[in-house]
Amino acid sequence: MMVVMSSAANEIGMAPARGRPVVANEQAEEELSAIKGERVVLPKNAVVHGSPTTCPACGSSRVMRGCDPDQTVDREAIHPLVWHPTQWMADSFISQACNAGWIEPDEAEAITWVRPYWLVTTA
């Protein structure tokens, strides 16, 4: 069940809990090493979670991380339900299809999404 509310010009909704898959450390090290351009070794007890595969607002598979270089909105202009100082890099995601943004918890818990993910003010 999805609940949708309107807050000023931002649409805010709730989506059911889903959790993120755990990624093998070897696979995570490979991917991180490719991004960084040098070998990355994770601690043996590190737990790495994968990205969500669909947007909780529209269901699109066109999902990117909030820290992706293609995301051009300044952090100060991003809705506080989407941007969190300690969760931004790992847990914030954006739908390229509908401009919804959300923080995706590692464990299964309800997701709050905001569309558009940037603050919209009414004149």
Q: Please indicate, yes or no, if residue 17 is contained in any of the structural domains.
A: yes
Specify if 73 maps to a domain.
Answer: yes
Domain assignment of residue 120, yes or no: no
Domain containing residue 74: 3-21+50-115
| 87 has a pLDDT exceeding 80 | no
- Count of structural domains, the chain: 1
Task: Please report the DSSP string for 49-108 in residue order.
Answer: EPPPSS-TTT--S-EEETT-TT--S-GGGB-TTT--TTTHHHHEEEETTT--EEE--SSS
Residue pair 15/108 in contact by the 8 Å Cβ criterion: no
Lowest mean pLDDT among 22-26, 66-70, 112-116: 66-70
**Does some domain include residue 33?**
no
The verdict on residue 31 lying in a domain is: no
Helix (H) or strand (E) holding 111: strand 111-115
Q: Is the full-model pTM beyond 0.85? A: no
Looking at the predicted structure, is the pLDDT value of residue 111 above 70? yes
Query: What is the phi/psi pair of residue 92, to 5°?
Result: -100, 130
Confirm whether 29 is domain-assigned: no
Q: Tell me how far apart the alpha carbons of residues 103 and 83 are, in angstroms, rounded to a whole number.
A: 7
